[in-house]
Chains A and B, each alone.
Chain A
Amino acid sequence: MAVSADGVSVGAVQGAGTQVDSEPRKRTRREVARLLFGSGAVALTPVLAGSRPSQSANRQRHTDIPFDETYRGRHIQGAPLPLHGLSALGADWRVTVDGHPLHLMRRADGTWLSMLDHYSWYGTPLEATRAAVDELGPGRRLRYMAPGPLGGGHPHGEAEHGVRA
């Protein structure tokens, strides 16, 4: 067990003429937290690691069709990014709803999720985008803050430079 607030010597000589604590004093919760989070602030650097394609890459071909249509009054567009080679699985689509980027994510089984609904998956980017419009409802816009196509995100406050025109 490595995350432990116990086993750390906390009784200490307070200075000349003071007593050594005969028993460990109770640690404040802030001290416990400091032990646990000794390394300080949350590191905000995203980590990217090497990867290799899996069998589901094959399914990508069947959904590789760009779209540009009006759905429930919204202009939705989507196309695979030209730099396909950067993605092992072709998860990199550029999708917009009324011009605002919608981040889609790919599941290992080849299906698609959107930033608006992480918990429902669809067979194609078009279906995932239409479902996002259903969830968005009338009168609301996407805010630009989705992670970039490589999934690394932006290290600092992506919401601040939002496209909220």
Chain B
Amino acid sequence: MVYVRKNVNKLTATEKRRFVEALLEVKRRGEYDEFVRLHIRHFRGDGERGLRAAHMTPSFLPWHRMFVLELENALIRVDDSVTVPYWDWTRDRSATSVPWTNDLLGGNGRRGDRQVMTGPFAYRNGRWTIRAGVTDDRFLTRDLGRSRNPINLPTKADLDRALKDPVYDVAPWDSTVTKGFRNKMEGWGPDSNPWLNHNRVHRWVGGAMLGGGSVNDPVFWLVHAFVDMQWQRWQRRHRNHRYLPARPPGRGRGQDGRIVARHERLPPWDVTPDELEDVSSIYQYA
């Protein structure tokens, strides 16, 4: 049965409560922190050796598609009415709008230590202690909009610039490419405009979302559901285009063994980008 991922601003009060409760239960079971650790292990610079599956790489999109599916699967084990909602940051753009409400993810961090004090994920409520973060903080942190040097969330125009590129990705398949949907969506920009789309959202949320422990903020999943939705939109707009590279890059190009081609295994899972291109029989976006 195909299930539906909804816009977070369309959830009913019951849907919000059940989503939040399922997250808290996955956390209580210790599963959530494994997601945090897995993501940290897969953050690797493209200037370093070794395979990079998750970031600065063509498989950024299928890797995070699989990652969100895994979390969703964990939520389903708790409550099979729950799906991961998406946050459309081109529409809900303020630090007090959805999803930063007390019945969802809670609000901004306070001044000083940036500790989130409101909502179900506030440390003082006792159900969201950070155990796998970059700092020794036990509490979730946010700095919505980057207080000391404010920036805005990316816009619909920013999204459209990515979506209109018909090519999925281009050589050298890393964070330096200026063409291709993948990096325009992932968002490694030039020094003059360093944060596009996805990266800019991480930067805007700040706190935990800025670093290796970004999964500690549950907004991570809402962000990546929306990123995932854009991949589907791109596919529908460019039906003759697919995940690239189709085959591993040849030796001597600097990327052999460092990226995941269409039919290669996408670690840590036993699945290929090819197998993840069409998930319409599993879920759809409303």
Main SS class of interface, A:
loop
A51 and B199 alpha carbons, distance in the complex (Å): 26
List CB contacts (< 8 Å) of B265-286 with chain A: 267-272, 274-279, 281-282
Contact B212 A142 (CB under 8 A): no
Contact A44 B268 (CB under 8 A): yes
Stretch of B89-97, B130-138, B159-167 at the chain-chain interface:
B130-138
Residues of B within 8 A of A147 (CB): 40-41, 43-44
Stretch of B11-19, B46-54, B99-107, B223-231 at the chain-chain interface:
B46-54
Closest 4 CB pairs of A and B: A106-B47, A105-B45, A49-B257, A51-B49
A88 and B49 alpha carbons, distance in the complex (Å): 6
Known pairs A32-B282, A33-B73, A39-B270 / 10 extra A-B pairs, C-beta < 8 Å = A3-B275, A3-B281, A33-B69, A48-B49, A49-B51, A89-B48, A114-B211, A137-B114, A142-B134, A143-B135
30 A-B pairs in the complex with CB atoms less than 8 angstroms apart: A3-B278, A4-B281, A5-B282, A29-B76, A42-B70, A46-B267, A46-B268, A47-B50, A48-B50, A49-B258, A50-B256, A51-B257, A51-B258, A52-B254, A88-B48, A105-B43, A107-B56, A114-B211, A115-B40, A115-B43, A118-B43, A118-B55, A118-B214, A120-B194, A120-B203, A143-B134, A147-B41, A153-B41, A159-B33, A159-B133
Residues of B within 8 A of A46 (CB): 41, 267-268
A6 and B281 alpha carbons, distance in the complex (Å): 7
Option from B40, B114, B131, B251 in Cβ contact (under 8 Å) with A153: B40
> What interface size band does chain A fall in?
35 or more
Option from B137, B212, B258 in Cβ contact (under 8 Å) with A103: B212
Option from B3, B135, B252, B274 in Cβ contact (under 8 Å) with A140: B135
Residues of B within 8 A of A145 (CB): 37, 40, 132-134, 212
* Binary contact track A130-163/B, C-beta < 8 Å → 1, others 0: 0000011101111101110011110001110010
- Does B88 touch A at the CB level, under 8 Å? no
A158 and B77 alpha carbons, distance in the complex (Å): 26
Q: Known contacts A108-B56, A135-B210, A164-B136: does B1 contact A113 (CB below 8 Å)?
A: no
Contact A115 B211 (CB under 8 A): yes
**How distant is A153 from chain B, measured CB to nearest CB, in Å?**
4
